[in-house]
Amino acid sequence: MEGQGGHLNRLKRQIVLAACAAGEGHIASAFSVLDMLWILYDQVLRFDPKNPRSDERDRFVLSKGHGSLALYAVLAEKGFFPAAELEGFAEFHSRLGGHPDCNKVPGVEASTGSLGHGLPMGVGMGLRIRKIDRRVVVLVGDGECNEGSIWEAALLAAHHHLANLTCIVDYNHSTDRALLMGDIASKFASFGWVASGINGHDHDALLEALTRGRQDRPTVIVAETVKGFGCKIMESAYPLGSSDH
């Protein structure tokens, strides 16, 4: 039986092959978020790949849309579309573009790529469905947290006590040479969120953070990650302060 490490290595291989065939794609960013996406789709989110628009589903928004290859690999693994489609990533007639399109790709809840838009959309989703006990999870990049729209959405979510909303910050230090964010968890906490920090590649820590009891406020998980995680050459190529969010 394939172990979890081998399983994720297979997904990483699919990501690399798809990006190389297309001549484009943010491999390092995809590797940065892959562990988080896998735990979400394998053990946390409720969904039905045969009925991806079911009212009973949880919602996930990949706000850092350039990490789309990781999302596509996980969605394919979970049966939303055939894994063979990854081979045509970013081709003219492919529905798998460089950024995810909710009008084309089953399982994609929001078309993203313009940084700073995913969390506001997630707040809207949370407001719309909070009476049916479904949750909304939004994954943003730390570079995205330079955008004012993130903090406007954070204020709105806290004001409405959106306990069904979770924001994961992929904290791979992409802004260490730009606008320094300082303690991101404390910033969200000052906006009225329940905040914590974890190792974003530790599956047990991720699962615990994503399944702990909800309070009457939105939750943020600041996940320390490494660009290109699992590939030493890539990890070395993207040192702290790299611009590939």
Is residue 194 a part of any domain in this protein? yes
User: What pLDDT is stored for residue 187 in this prediction?
Assistant: 96
CATH of the domain at 36: 3.40.50.970
As given in the structure block, the two tokens for residue 143 are 């570079």
Q: Which domain holds residue 216?
A: 26-67+97-237
Helix, strand, or coil (residue 168): strand
Sheet holding 165-171, edge to edge: 59-62, 136-141, 165-171, 219-224, 194-199
Q: Which of 124-133, 171-180, 219-228 has the lowest mean pLDDT?
A: 171-180
In a domain, 14, yes or no: no
**7 within a domain of the structure (yes/no):** no
Q: Judge contact between 75 and 84, C-beta under 8 A.
A: no
Within-domain flag for 158? yes
Q: Are 100 and 25 in contact (CB under 8 A)?
A: no
What number of H helices and E strands is found in the chain?
A: 8, 5
The predicted structure's pLDDT at residue 241: 46
Q: How confident is the model at residue 236 (pLDDT cuts 50, 70, 90)?
A: low
The answer to whether residue 102 sits within a structural domain is yes
Q: Is residue 203 part of a domain?
A: yes
Stretch 97-124: mean pLDDT, rounded? 96
Residue 124 lies in a domain: yes
The reply to whether the predicted model has a pTM over 0.85 is: yes
Reported confidence tier of residue 245, pLDDT bands at 50, 70, 90: very low
Who's near 131: CB < 8 A, 6+ residues apart? none
Number of domains making up the chain = 1
17 within some domain: no
